[in-house]
Chain A
């Protein structure tokens, strides 16, 4: 094994024992179950919602999709990518700049697109 004494080897911090591994694997399978259930709900809703609900329900369904997607994304990032196990500092520098920029981008794009839509409807 190569160990340099002039740098701190952070990679070794992630090592864990057999028993801890069992616990971690159990959590992995629980998250898998959750992701599968959410995806099944999404697909079933997408394929059959017109048979079950009125057309006016679309807005609620749309936001349900967005919420379920964010739930899935949170579990993938925090559990599968282990960001939830990292220090608070690294979590913040990954998530905060991204969130700030994208929330603004989404807001401005949706807002402006409604104006463009109105423009084309009126003058085209």
Chain B
């Protein structure tokens, strides 16, 4: 990039006073310091997740088995929805960096165009995450355990949390050892009458997810899912708000009068950081 950062300056000038040894404005540097502290927080959360996952003796759910639903469809699409969310976030990061570039040329129209696209992308991401949370919480029918200690998956064409047996399609599927999710090939499907007999003999019925228990795996799994994606989602949400405020200021010509668009750059740093965190959440939560 053009400018002071590529210029060769003697060390006397850099550290001897008179100018910043970092050749960076106060605001940008403080944004970087904040991002380092925020990065430490997220790293701490993900490391805690890794610690619990490694230390637990229970089977841990697998991303491509838990996250396989798409809106408006019934089929199995492992990881496709979360890949879509990732794509949206990466592309909103691209539009942000293009807005910053336009700002460096004092191109007000360009900044408005790309910043608007960024806000739109961010809003889409938050919406997608709301859908995914809803799907995660409601679950796919859940399972029951019996007095014999057996585990059966509840199958139903229509998902009904109050009384799953009310529908004709209700039946149970014996859980396959070592598999955390239903729909395993070769699993034994019981007929309706046998299913009802076992249903009445149930000890517990776990459907969907909450902070205490979930149908996917150990309770900590859902707890970490809610906390980490929730904390990230809150960052995305606040990022959208910040970008929106900056966009309004750009439209009103505040930065053009100021002579530079550094505010877009600072908001951009925060926005890229949100994308950066998602790259890690995506890997450690959904892929590994």
Residues of chain A touching chain B, judged by Cβ–Cβ distance below 8 Å, are: 1-3, 8-18, 20-21, 24-25, 28-29, 32, 35-36, 39-40, 42-43, 46-47, 62, 65-66, 68-69, 72-73, 76-77, 79-82, 85-87, 89-90, 93-94, 97-98, 101-102, 105-106, 109-110, 112-114, 116-117, 120-121, 124
Q: Is the CB of B54 within 8 A of A110?
A: yes
User: C-beta contact mask, B28-57 vs A, less than 8 Å → 1, else 0?
Assistant: 110010001001100110011011111111
Q: Is the CB of B78 within 8 A of A16?
A: no
What residues on A are CB-neighbors of B275 within 8 Å? 76, 80
**Whole-angstrom distance from the CB of B9 to the nearest CB of chain A?**
9
Query: Taking CB as reference atom, which chain A residue is nearest B52?
Result: A113
Chain B interface mostly: helix
In the complex, given contacts A10-B24, A17-B105, A65-B283, what are 15 additional A-B residue pairs having Cβ atoms less than 8 angstroms apart?
A1-B259, A10-B23, A12-B3, A24-B101, A28-B101, A32-B90, A35-B90, A42-B283, A46-B79, A76-B93, A85-B1, A110-B54, A113-B55, A114-B54, A120-B57
Query: Taking CB as reference atom, which chain B residue is nearest A119?
Result: B55
Chain B residues numbered 83-117 whose CB sits less than 8 Å from any CB in chain A? 83, 86-87, 90-91, 93-94, 96-98, 100-102, 104-106
- The one of B6, B22, B39, B55 in contact with A98, judged by C-beta atoms closer than 8 angstroms, is B39
Q: Is the CB of B55 within 8 A of A116?
A: yes
What residues on A are CB-neighbors of B183 within 8 Å? none
Q: Is the CB of B83 within 8 A of A39?
A: yes
Q: Is the CB of B24 within 8 A of A15?
A: no
Q: Is B287 an interface residue (CB 8 A)?
A: yes
Which of A9, A39, A82, A112 counts the most B-chain CB atoms under 10 A from its CB? A82
What residues on A are CB-neighbors of B36 within 8 Å? 94, 97-98
Kindly state the separation between the CA atoms of A108 and B80 in the bound complex, as whole angstroms.
34
Q: Is the CB of A13 within 8 A of B40?
A: no
Q: Is B279 an interface residue (CB 8 A)?
A: yes
Segment with Cβ contacts to A, from B153-161, B203-211, B228-236, B265-273: B265-273
Q: Is B132 an interface residue (CB 8 A)?
A: no
Query: Taking CB as reference atom, which chain B residue is nearest A106?
Result: B47
What residues on B are CB-neighbors of A86 within 8 Å? 5, 22-24
Chain A interface mostly: helix
Interface residues on B, range: 35 or more
Chain B residues numbered 225-279 whose CB sits less than 8 Å from any CB in chain A? 257-260, 262, 265, 268-269, 272-273, 275-276, 279
What residues on A are CB-neighbors of B283 within 8 Å? 42, 65-66, 68-69
Q: Is the CB of A76 within 8 A of B54?
A: no
Chain B residues numbered 1-32 whose CB sits less than 8 Å from any CB in chain A? 1-6, 14, 19-25, 28-29, 32
- The one of B14, B63, B102 in contact with A46, judged by C-beta atoms closer than 8 angstroms, is B63
Kindly state the separation between the CA atoms of A121 and B25 in the bound complex, as whole angstroms.
54
Kindly state the separation between the CA atoms of A82 and B103 in the bound complex, as whole angstroms.
14
The 7 A-B pairs of least Cβ separation, nearest first, read: A13-B3, A113-B54, A13-B4, A1-B259, A116-B55, A11-B262, A113-B55
- The one of B19, B97, B280 in contact with A80, judged by C-beta atoms closer than 8 angstroms, is B97
What residues on B are CB-neighbors of A40 within 8 Å? 83
Known contacts: A1-B259, A76-B93, A102-B40. The answer to whether A39 contacts B86 by CB under 8 A is yes
- The one of A18, A36, A97 in contact with B87, judged by C-beta atoms closer than 8 angstroms, is A36
Q: Is the CB of A16 within 8 A of B3?
A: yes
Kindly state the separation between the CA atoms of A24 and B100 in the bound complex, as whole angstroms.
11
